[in-house]
Amino acid sequence: MSELQHLLQELGGTRLWVEVLVLLACVSLAWGLARLLRRGASADSVWFGRYTIDGLLFPVLAVVLIYVARYGVGLHQPVVVLKVALPIFISLAAIRLFARVLGASFPQSSTIKLIESVVSWLAWGGAVLWITGLLPAVLAELEAISFAFGKTRISLRTLFEGVLSSGVMLVVVLWISATIEKRVLREAVGDLSMRKVAANVIRAGLLLVGLLFVLSAVGVDLTALSVLGGALGVGLGFGLQKLAANYVSGFVILIERSLRIGDLVRVDNFEGVVTDIKTRYTLLRALNGRESVVPNELFITQRVENLTAADPKVSVTLNVSVAYDSDVDQVQQILLAAALSSPRVLREPAPAAHLANFGADGLEFTLAFWIADPENGQLGLRSDINLAILRGLRAAGIEIPYPQRVVHTKS
């Protein structure tokens, strides 16, 4: 009799209601414990999720309780319902692990939904094979299908288990690194750039260790990696030297803290605010909304103007011409009042209005003032102050001269 037939025969037992009640009690207790432990947890927590039931802790607790109940009930009667429920909740825990960790690590990625769907199909398919007893037969068939790579033969089962182990390892590493960054680095490291480089180093180290464990688990000889490392070194020396230079420059920038997220910089004739520092490139967002991807090597080999590192204050000047018969003191007062009418203009150092030149068409004044937020742009500020100057001059009856030319004629 097959496993499926045996299962269907056992489902017709008379004491099935006992297992149903035990299962409901286990699920309710798991939900209650997760609900109780949820207090104070954030909404993006991998363990609790948004509604407790969509977190990882609920199915994990359910698996533990169902396993214990299955052993206890099995001492008195054949176990059927709990035997079916166990792989179902294990599959649910695997789906919750992948979905919550990948969703928290890559919240704006469009491929996360596809990965979640693939993981769900694999998890539920594995649960069905487990319940029906077909899983050993499927694994045996996968083991029978093998491929030859030189002197090594790799079965389809080994390849599948390697891919699955790599996926689980990647998710666990992302979860651990995100937890360390959130719980430890935010409190121990106050600087955002140093926190980012520490998180990148920890993630890279965990990925390397996890990859070595996965390769060893699937039967790959780790001594062969020495040949791969030599070939990789040759490749870096020739074709990948620019890429390697960008990665090294990224770590140098993060360690030296010559650039920080939020700094206003100018490099390669592009001015913008540093929005993110990756290991290969840096994202700059200009004041007009354009975003530029700048290779990190440029920040090491070229001159970079950091407008935030030394002093965030920036001097702004405006030029105004009035008629020669204007009251100079009154014009200066109007210019200073126009500058002080803007809340972005600093009161210290105070604005200054000077008679700069005796122009061909009128008296030329220069209004100089300081601002502390150049990342907000200057065009709107110039427009507001120019409008205030124009209204003040018109209210005082002061003429803004037109270009004049005197023509002499000879008879």
What domains are defined for the chain?
3-133 (no CATH), 148-220 (no CATH), 258-306 (2.30.30.60), 314-395 (3.30.70.100)
Q: What is the pLDDT of residue 332?
A: 93
pLDDT class of 238 with cuts at 50, 70, 90: low
Task: Find out whether 367 and 353 touch, Cβ atoms under 8 Å.
Answer: yes
Most confident of 105-109, 359-363, 381-385: 381-385
Percent of the chain surpassing pLDDT 90: 18
CA-nearest of 65, 49, 67, 66 to 57 is: 49
Distance CA 75, CA 73 (A): 5
- List Cβ neighbours of 47 (8 Å cut-off, separation of 6 or more): 37, 41, 55, 56, 57
- Decide: helix, strand or coil at residue 218: coil
Mean pLDDT of the chain: 80
pLDDT class of 154 with cuts at 50, 70, 90: confident
Q: What is the pLDDT of residue 229?
A: 63
Over residues 107-117, the pLDDT tens digits come to 777 777 888 88
Distance CA 171, CA 104 (A): 11
Q: Is the pLDDT of residue 199 over 80?
A: no
Q: Is the pLDDT of residue 37 over 50?
A: yes
Phi, psi at 69, each rounded to 5°: -65, -35
CA-nearest of 240, 250, 208 to 225 is: 208
Residue 287 is given by DSSP the state T
pTM (global) more than 0.75:
no
- List Cβ neighbours of 343 (8 Å cut-off, separation of 6 or more): none
Over residues 120-147, the pLDDT tens digits come to 898 889 888 888 878 888 888 888 888 7
The two tokens of residue 305 are: 């103007």
Distance CA 172, CA 179 (A): 10
Q: What is the pLDDT of residue 180?
A: 75
pLDDT class of 228 with cuts at 50, 70, 90: low
Q: Is the pLDDT of residue 302 over 80?
A: yes
Distance CA 300, CA 252 (A): 9
Lowest average pLDDT, out of 7-21, 85-99, 180-194, 389-403, goes to 180-194
Lowest average pLDDT, out of 83-92, 248-257, 293-302, goes to 248-257
CA-nearest of 81, 93, 237, 226 to 168 is: 93
Residue 50 is given by DSSP the state T
Over residues 240-290, the pLDDT tens digits come to 677 777 878 887 887 777 788 888 888 888 888 888 888 788 889 887 778
Higher pLDDT, 288 or 381: 381
pLDDT class of 386 with cuts at 50, 70, 90: very high
Q: Is the pLDDT of residue 182 over 80?
A: no
Distance CA 84, CA 91 (A): 12
Over residues 23-34, the pLDDT tens digits come to 899 999 988 888
Segment 188-194 mean pLDDT:
58
Residue 14 is given by DSSP the state T
Q: What is the pLDDT of residue 306?
A: 82
Lowest average pLDDT, out of 66-80, 211-225, 397-411, goes to 211-225
